[in-house]
Structure 1
């Protein structure tokens, strides 16, 4: 393995790493917020919202991530404006991941005993207050492992940004590989950078899960 590739092009690796981290963090926050809202829509008594939530999840989950990113990269031009690769890729990643997070949180909501909702409503809380303060906190604790897996998948899926010049880790790695003709060595170092992100997250999810199990 040619370690000089890492040292000679460390600046480019670092720039791509920063782009991947920024895109992943923004998509993680956005997908969690959207996914939580869609999960609530999936089980709400309001039929129109329930249909919207179901349609959103089923549509997004059954099309490729790349297609979602292309929609946000090429689609806005039809409306008279454009998004750069980073913005389009991050938005696409957010939308795609939110559908999977919505299903995970919905499963957690369903797993919360129905008596919790009835007790909260009988104490004077309305539906949204009950969902926000009683049901969702319990549901999210129940689905920490699948949520952690989705967040790890999100980081790995961020490599799709390279296809729309999203200035992520893979984008810069492609340039390094083209310049050095050392494809294997270049992408091995890319794998190490991804591990720097995913391994601590995986460990953190396991620790958090064990602490919650001891507490509850």
Structure 2
């Protein structure tokens, strides 16, 4: 896939795709969420964090994805891509089928495309200030843009720690976890996301729309 770095084109190959789950840095909060989901019938993870393997074909740069039914939603997440000994930092959405999640979290991760931004940063250029980087997700709701998720990477386990635990190899990418949703997790027809660096004022941006397909039986 084609991306840009500092205005220059970069070609990245992603043969293996992972979604890191349960990556919150506050262990008590993570356990509370696990308990909440367990009460709804969602099986707890076998370990924390947990690395879900999904099809590399789910990663997309399309500004429109199609989903089955009304029960899916996106999540703003940092994206790590490793290729030829170089580690890149990007932005992606772990769009997930929430209805399917009740039956299998792993299956819910595989059910939807994962939109990614068209720009990346060199990981080494920002690794000393990762906790300062800011994530933002806005959704279109009632004809207006509403802040859905907002916070810094300090809320997520250190990316180097997630990278080490995942065993991520070459030509591989990993979505690294997300932030809590304001007003609760819910679907939306359009998303605007960003990963910004307060030191430089630069930002990676991702916008996409969702087309809902009917569920027929």
Q: Same fold by TM (over 0.5)?
A: no
**Would you tell me which structure has more helix in proportion to its own residues?**
1
Give the TM interval when normalised to the shorter protein: under 0.3
Larger CA Rg, structure 1 vs 2: 1
